[in-house]
Amino acid sequence: MNICVVGVGYVGLVTGTCFAELGLNVTCVDNDAAKIKMLKDGKVPIYEPGLEEMIKKNSGEGRLTFTSDLREGVSNALAVFIAVGTPQGDDGAADLQYVWEVARSIGETMEDYKVVVTKSTVPVGTGQKVAALIREHQKRPIPFDVTSNPEFLREGSAIEDFMRPNRVVVGADSDQAKAIMKDLYSPLYLLETPFVITNVETAEMIKYASNAFLATKISFINEMANICELVGADVNVVAKGMGLDRRIGSKFLHAGPGYGGSCFPKDTAAIARLAKEQGYTFQIVEAVMEVNRCQRLVMVDKIKAALGGDVKGKVLACLGLTFKPNTDDMRDSPSLVILPELMQAGATVRAFDPAGVTMARPMLPKEVIYCDNSYHACQGADALVLMTEWNQFRNLDWARVQEAMRGKVVVDLRNVYQPARMNELGLSYYSVGRPS
């Protein structure tokens, strides 16, 4: 089967490449000519473990091609996936301009039956509007179906998540579209992946409900961490004790600087906004967003307190900038709030991130000093701040760290290090929701 994926971002590129790996012929389309040129030259515009090799293999075997011409992608495809960005608009709602643009172009270019699949995260009602736009822009009436197939992959483990998903959600209104969607994903049936087949509106809602719930878990454990600090309890152990209850589950119960990235912040805002538009206040999600906003400032205060209440003239070694490890994605990363706040208060920041610096540079104050590795960042630092739990920060050579630093303070925003070990090393160690 020939398919087309529009948008070669984190979702589109992984989706297209993985479908090619599953044996489909895939044309990936993007209107960013520079990205398409890079991909044609064998370079990958994003950092995602394993992706480069898989693109190389499938391009080499002729199943994966790239173009900036939507017509070329759409013409031979039976299914056209829309995987463009749906960023947060000014009012909190999802900004759907890119989705509408693609829907109009699909209408203008299609010559025969297509299943148009919305993979982007979009609010309920988008499928219907995509269908209306396609119909409006067709030169003559051509049958098509619009389906919803929200994506649940996580950056950093996107390939594994796509190939072995917990579930595949498909919202479709016609039997033909359902059959084509099942056929597309048939290799995953062999792995006994559960499929949730429903109508378009429900599928669209499942994505927002999932992300809002995961964000709720994070804000919940972050507030729990703040309370643990007040009463001398250990949030890691609390989370373990909670998570072993199968009704709760252990995932997404890691206290830290709050959620970030390209999904949770905008998706919580979008579902809250969607509810508001219907005259309903989604109280839990509103609180989740507020807790998340505050948690970043709680981290700023924690770092200041660790340095005696004032960071003026202090040098901070910041390890990690991205919102999570194994990605170069800086969108809504906690570091974008925490570091400018500290710099505003007079701190100098020396930062190292294994993959995020190119994206971070234009988003952070220009005074940030970017370093080549962890030890370079620690040079002359009063405090080490662990911002993102990249694996390489888990086993630092502490003798080398201490030799490089001028101070002894370690602020671990991800609870990676063991307090007892840090004390043994003679470091003043602060983490999140654990006794210092």
CA 238, CA 221: separation in Å to the nearest integer?
9
Of residues 53 through 92, those in contact with ligand NAD by CB under 6 A are 83-86
The residue among 135 and 154 lying less far from ligand NAD, judged by its C-beta, is 154
The residue among 32 and 290 lying less far from ligand NAD, judged by its C-beta, is 32
Is 318 among the residues known to form the active site?
Answer: no
- Core vs surface per residue 117-136: b (16+ CB within 10 A) or e: bbbbbbbbebbebbbebbee
- Core vs surface per residue 194-228: b (16+ CB within 10 A) or e: ebeebebbebbbbbbebbbebbbbbbbbbbbbbeb
Q: Which residue is nearest to ligand NAD (CB)?
A: 9
Question: Which one, of 247, 348, 265, 275, lies nearest residue 87 by Cα?
Answer: 265
Of residues 96 through 125, those in contact with ligand NAD by CB under 6 A are 98, 101-102, 120-121
Give yes or no for residue 326 binding ligand NAD (CB under 6 A): no
**What track of x and - describes contact with ligand NAD for positions 227 through 266 (by CB under 6 A)?**
-----------------------------------xx---
Contacts of 231 (CB under 8 A, 6+ apart): none
DSSP assignment letter at 391: G
Strands annotated E in 282-323:
315-319
Least distance to ligand NAD from the beta carbon of 392, Å? 22
Least distance to ligand NAD from the beta carbon of 70, Å? 6
Least distance to ligand NAD from the beta carbon of 76, Å? 17
The residue among 80 and 411 lying less far from ligand NAD, judged by its C-beta, is 80
Catalytic residue (one of 263, 318, 371, 378): 263
Measured in degrees and rounded to the nearest 5, phi and psi for residue 398 equal -70, -25
The residue among 149 and 402 lying less far from ligand NAD, judged by its C-beta, is 149
Least distance to ligand NAD from the beta carbon of 30, Å? 4
CA 83, CA 65: separation in Å to the nearest integer?
16
The dihedral through the CA atoms of 174, 94, 103, 154 has a sign that is: negative
**What track of x and - describes contact with ligand NAD for positions 21 through 50 (by CB under 6 A)?**
--------xxxx--x---------------
Rg of the chain (C-alpha set):
23
Catalytic residues: 263
Site of interaction with ligand NAD (CB under 6 A) = 6-12, 29-32, 35, 83-86, 98, 101-102, 120-121, 151, 153, 155, 262-263
